[in-house]
Amino acid sequence: MTVRRIVPNLQASDPQAARAFYGELLGLDVVMDHGWIVTFAAEGQAAMPQVSFASEGGSGTPVPLLSIEVDDADLIYGKAKSVGAEIVYEITDEPWGVRRFFMRDPFGNVINILSH
């Protein structure tokens, strides 16, 4: 038996509200929409299914609900600031080799945006 993928399912009273944040801001494509569930994906294939368990988010931050790796965290940070997204943790170069920031999605979830 092999785990092929892991898909987080986030509670949202209005799943369509995810389009502006996850679609427009982060550039993800809608790959499934049944009204009650909207699934977004990026082109390509994830390296491997992953799931993390944490007591904190690192550097004393709260544990983010999702970590999304992008090729340019600064670009997404600029876009997030320009659309008024709530920045929970300012963009930072962390000692373990990532550049990241946390922002809140439309549903109140803390999202970690990072680049290696």
**pLDDT tens readout for residues 17-53:** 999 999 999 999 999 999 999 999 998 877 777 888 8
Residue 10 falls within a domain, yes or no?
no
Q: Is residue 2 part of a domain?
A: no
Residue 27 resides in a domain? yes
In a domain? residue 108? yes
Domains contained in the chain, number: 1
Q: Kindly report the pTM of this predicted structure.
A: 0.90
Sequence-distant contacts of 72-75: CB under 8 A, at least 24 apart: 72/115, 73/99, 73/100, 73/101, 73/113, 73/114, 73/115, 74/99, 74/115
- Is 5 inside any structural domain? no
CA-based Rg of the chain, rounded to a whole angstrom?
14
In a domain, 6, yes or no: no
Residue 8 lies in a domain: no
| Parent domain of 20 | 15-115
Token match 């004393």: residue? Answer: 60
- Residue 73 counted as domain residue: yes
AA identity, residue 98: V
Tell me what pLDDT residue 45 has: 74
Mean pLDDT, the chain, whole residue set: 93
Residue 84 maps to which CATH number? Answer: 3.10.180.10
Q: Check whether 93 has a pLDDT greater than 90.
A: yes
